[in-house]
Amino acid sequence: MRIATWNVNSIRTRKGRVIDYLQSADIDVLAMQEIKCKPEQFPYEEFEEAGYEVIAHGLNQWNGVAFASRLPIEDVVDGFDGMPGFGKPAEDGSLPLEARALGVTIEGVRLWSLYVPNGRELDHPHYHYKLEWLNALRAATAKRREEHPDEPLALMGDFNIAPLDIDIWDPAFFEGKTHTSQPERDAFNAFLTDGLVDVTRELGVEGYTYWDYQQLRFPRNEGMRIDFILGSSEFLELVNSAEIARDERKGDGPSDHVPVMVELDTETSLDDDMPMIF
């Protein structure tokens, strides 16, 4: 089973490139972020014609997360327990929830498509929202793993954090900015402390996953590594390869992020890959 995560930066603008990638890279399951549309606006038909079922969670033109899968999708949940909201308070004082988390189970593997809040500025309310959101995700993930100790689980998506200085082209450029601050890195590392593994890093895959559209960032290779697949030990045991699909930043109309992919050894992929010998 080949699983990828990709911040597509509008699925309506990117549908052709996304489906081309699914087919050329032989992807079974794609977690998408920043679909930037409501479910009723999602281009389902193109995905269905390519053989993929889609579950989309979006509330407006911002954020939005989805899965496309050619294997059956089960146990769909949007959001997680304790997930904070952001924005204008309702009459009861609660803050509106955003479409940033979607959980599914495929082939017995628990998968999340996650679009972690950006943070905007270190002194902006969005920054505190980002840290609270990550803390709540950590608690919800720990609870799930306690309740399902043998279930392979992976948190996949745009974490909007560069955990190491090698994950950015110039640490000095990011001083005083979000994505590299110590509280953000601490929030990321807390998942590793809890036993999740940064799968692409573990497998020795190098490189950035994001390059700003501005200032020739891609031709100059001035990027950031902010998209990750964090797997439980049960998940990691299934992984046999990983890749950052850097070429997806090339050509016409790319997203500013590229896919991060892992291939798992599951019975389904063995069935697909094993020669038929009788």
Residues engaged in binding DNA (CB under 7 A)? 7, 9-10, 12-14, 34, 36-37, 41, 60-63, 117-118, 120, 126, 158, 160, 178-179, 210, 212-216, 218-219, 221, 224, 226, 249-251, 253, 256-257
Q: What 8-state DSSP symbol labels residue 97?
A: P
Find where tokens 């090339």 sit: 250
**CA–CA distances in Å: residue 88 to residues 34, 85, 98:** 21, 9, 12
Residue 215 or 241 having the CB closest to DNA: 215
Residue 195 or 254 having the CB closest to DNA: 254
Residue 82 or 86 having the CB closest to DNA: 86
d(CA 23, CA 19): 6
Residue 192 or 216 having the CB closest to DNA: 216
Shortest Cβ 215–DNA spacing (Å): 5
Shortest Cβ 184–DNA spacing (Å): 11
3-state helix, strand, coil in the chain (%, to 5): 30, 25, 45
Residue 172 or 277 having the CB closest to DNA: 172
d(CA 261, CA 109): 15
- What region does 216 belong to: left with phi over 0, alpha with psi -120 to 50, or beta? left
Shortest Cβ 151–DNA spacing (Å): 29
